Chains A and B, each alone.
Chain A
Amino acid sequence: MDLLKLENTLFTIVMLLYFAAMILYFVFVAFKSEFALKLAEIIQTTGLVLHTAALVCRGIGAGRLPLTNQYEFATAFAWGLCLVSLIFVFRFKFPVLGAFASPVMFIIIGYAAMQSKEVKELMPALRSNWLGFHVSTAIIAYGAFGVSFVLGIIFLMRERMKSGAFLDQHIPSREKIDMISYRSVSLGLLFLSFTIITGAIWAERAWGSYWSWDPKETWSLVTWIVYAIYLHLRIRNGWKGRAAAIFAIAGFICVLFTYIGVNTFLPGVHSYA
């Protein structure tokens, strides 16, 4: 069996499932259909399972961790966002989070679909176990920051919406959304720290220098500092609620710039990624 072909098929199915989940979530929000919500949750969870299978197939088919080029990282990013959002949905009993995360997931997996899926042999610098740790922690970090971005949007929308039974039943209080957002930023910052440290260890082994101010490194540090600022503003200036929500949205833009912008606009050793 050709595992890479299977991966390709699974990838297409997953994309369709995420799309279906997105539509169903939309139906749930627009028409207050509980049935659509249940179905969307089942479809998103199924999507995650098949997505995991797709990544495993690619890993086995390519004979290495499937985390080494723009396509692989993009699909893994969508997977990370799906995983973290589902964990938060179940942990905090917050299905609407899934509803708002699904378009972001769909955009990211759509971006993956536009990348070259060719399996290339790895250049020597990429042949390292540290790369595996580096990228897998980045996926969780990005997923968590993605969730805080989505929560920021939900928070701002909650502010504008009139209270009603449907809203109160499905969207937690602003205070709770804010706390969940803080939890997801914390998770993201912890994993981003792991990402930076494992990346530094890898860089030291591959390039002989653990930090060389390459644009991607620099931007991951900028992102790290931005979220550190978020934490301090919460404590010092009581920047909770709306300000924190806006900050979480801005922080994720930084994440996206680190991920896509740097590769596109700035030169560096990471540009093969």
Chain B
Amino acid sequence: MQFAIALLVVLAIACSIGSFVTQGQSFNQYAAQYSERAAAFIIALGLDDAFHSWWFILINAFLCCNLLFCNVIRLPQILKRVKTDRDAGSVTEAAADISAPGVNDPNDFFEKMRHSKPAASVTSDEKDILYSPKNTAGSWGAWICHIGILLLILGFSLGQFLHQEYAVYGVPGDAKPIGDTGYVLQIDGFEVGLRDDDTVEQYTADITVYDVNHSDGGSSQSAEISVNNPAKLFGMKFYQNSTGWAARVSVTENGEPLQDKVLCAGEYLAVQDKPDLVIYFNAFYPDFYVEPGNAPVTLSGKLNNPGYLYSVYYQGNMLGMNVLMGSEPLTIDEYTVVFSEPQSYTVIQVKQDRFAWLAFIGGIVILAGLVLAFYVLPEKVWAVKETDWQWTVYGSCRKGGALFKERFEEAAEEFTRQRETEDQHGSAKT
């Protein structure tokens, strides 16, 4: 167990390092934040992705092996302990933490200790004994907790290596493939529920998933998803993940409609006749406001004063960047570009983690183990017959320590008090 403790210490240190170093940055970002040498050190040791680094995995692998090994070794020991704990023949005076001599009614004592009344038995040295073990199942607590940890780490690791994750974004009406799964996600509707004070109450998307590989040409399943309410369709889980702005971009050439497409902010459109000419939709501000010298901001989420930030590229070179207010047109030679119909697009996260349940079971098993280890403390109380009317009561509780002894002493004292009053009453009667 010494090695296990060392491993736990190392794991705690590794985790805290991973939390102090911002994860997933580039060399340059670290160099800017710390120094070039520190950045080189961080990258060389994999501290930029600490929780997936070889050394982190190694620590966990050692931990699992150690835990497994320890649990295998301890299994027969615990079985034996639970068995002997239940066996009256196994108790010895030396095993007692505490004792109370001169007890005339041991059953009463058991009751005071909240132990069930035991059946009579004999010790190995042929003395009459009343033996009452309690909570023997508690011996399994640590073992079960460790099994839970193993299941949790196993479920989590398998999930890390084998899960599949995709992000699909779009506006209502869009239908896009979900990676290479052979399924298509169609966004039927998307609503941003605003409260009176303009804060967002909920993002809700209606989705339909089509199985395009299906023999009959495509079966489908639909669901409504919102933040905190994902849905499971075709074995994959769909989460309403985030949102952004989209707008319709219409291009006309000498007044004739040429092209019309809904673009999400961050997307671009290459002009049909002239693919070298690209309109990039940088950002959208529903309630545009800019203070001279500052970057533009939006005053609210409402469409009070829509502003579209765009940039134009020709053959890869930026020609310019500006903001179009409302339906203001942008003219580039014979082309006119107009942004309209601002709307929210949704980002839907699609995930398939076939092992999350294992980690979940691990968590439940850990809880069960902890309850057993901490709240089902095995304890034994037994009474050995000394003379015809006198017994000595013994008690032991491995994890009870001073608290068990105190409870035992209280029972013994109460017992003595009770007996004294009974004696007084008895002598008064006679």
Residue numbers of A with Cβ under 8 A of B are 92, 120-121, 123-125, 127-128, 172-173, 175-176, 178-180, 182-183, 186-187, 189-190, 193-194, 196-197, 200-202, 204-211, 213, 215, 218-219, 221-222, 225-226, 228-229, 232-233, 235-237, 262, 266-267
Contact = CB atoms under 8 A, between A and B. Distances in A.
A180 B403 contact: yes
B8 A176 contact: no
What's the dominant secondary structure at chain B's contact region?
helix
Given A124-B227, A175-B401, A205-B229, A218 B15 contact: yes
B295 to A, nearest CB: 21
B363 interface: yes
30 contacts: A124-B202, A124-B228, A127-B202, A128-B228, A175-B401, A176-B402, A186-B374, A186-B375, A193-B367, A204-B356, A206-B228, A207-B239, A208-B237, A208-B241, A210-B359, A211-B156, A213-B18, A213-B23, A218-B18, A219-B15, A219-B16, A222-B15, A225-B8, A229-B5, A229-B9, A229-B12, A236-B1, A237-B5, A266-B19, A266-B20
Nearest to A216: B19
B4 interface: yes
Contacts of A196: 363
Contacts of B9: 229
Nearest to B10: A225
B15 A121 contact: no
B4 A232 contact: yes
Most chain B C-beta atoms within 10 Å of own C-beta, residue among A180, A200, A208: A208
Interface of B: 1-2, 4-5, 8-9, 11-12, 15-16, 18-20, 22-23, 51, 156, 195, 197, 199-203, 226-230, 237, 239, 241, 349, 351, 356, 359-360, 363-364, 366-367, 370-371, 373-375, 400-403, 406
A232 B5 contact: yes
Contact of B22 (A120, A197, A201, A267): A267
B403 A222 contact: no
A225 B11 contact: yes
Given A179-B401, A183-B403, A193-B370, A208 B230 contact: yes
A208 B367 contact: no
B200 A124 contact: yes
A45 B22 CA distance: 44
Nearest to A173: B402
Contact of B228 (A125, A172, A178): A125
A190 B363 contact: no
Given A128-B228, A226-B12, A121 B367 contact: no
A222 B17 CA distance: 11
Contacts of B22: 267
Contacts of B401: 175, 178-179, 182
Most chain A C-beta atoms within 10 Å of own C-beta, residue among B2, B199, B227, B230: B227
B200 A228 contact: no
Contacts of B51: 213
A189 B16 CA distance: 19
A186 B375 CA distance: 9
Given A128-B228, A210-B356, A266-B20, A176 B15 contact: no
A121 B356 contact: no
A266 B17 CA distance: 12
Contacts of A205: 228-230, 239
Nearest to B167: A208
Given A123-B200, A205-B228, A179 B15 contact: no
Most chain A C-beta atoms within 10 Å of own C-beta, residue among B22, B228, B366, B401: B228
Nearest to A206: B228
B8 A232 contact: yes
Contacts of B229: 205
Most chain B C-beta atoms within 10 Å of own C-beta, residue among A92, A172, A205: A205
B167 to A, nearest CB: 10
A236 B228 CA distance: 43
B8 A228 contact: yes
A229 B8 contact: yes
Given A179-B402, A201-B360, A237-B5, 8 more contacts: A92-B403, A175-B402, A178-B401, A186-B374, A190-B367, A193-B367, A229-B12, A236-B5
B239 A221 contact: no
A236 B203 CA distance: 52
B11 A190 contact: no
Nearest to B203: A124
Contacts of A179: 400-403
A219 B19 CA distance: 8
Nearest to A172: B402
B243 to A, nearest CB: 10
Nearest to A224: B12
Contacts of A213: 18-19, 23, 51
Contacts of B359: 210
Contacts of B367: 190, 193-194, 197
A219 to B, nearest CB: 6
Given A211-B156, A235-B1, A189 B12 contact: no
Nearest to B204: A124
B227 A208 contact: no
Contacts of A218: 15-16, 18-19
| Top 10 A-B pairs, shortest CB-CB distance | A124-B227, A186-B374, A208-B239, A176-B402, A197-B363, A175-B402, A218-B19, A215-B19, A225-B12, A179-B401
Contacts of A201: 360
Nearest to A218: B19
B239 to A, nearest CB: 4
A197 B362 CA distance: 10
A205 B367 CA distance: 21
Contact of A176 (B23, B230, B349, B406): B406
Contacts of B375: 186
Contacts of B8: 225, 228-229, 232
Most chain B C-beta atoms within 10 Å of own C-beta, residue among A205, A219, A225, A226: A225
Contacts of B20: 266
B363 A200 contact: yes
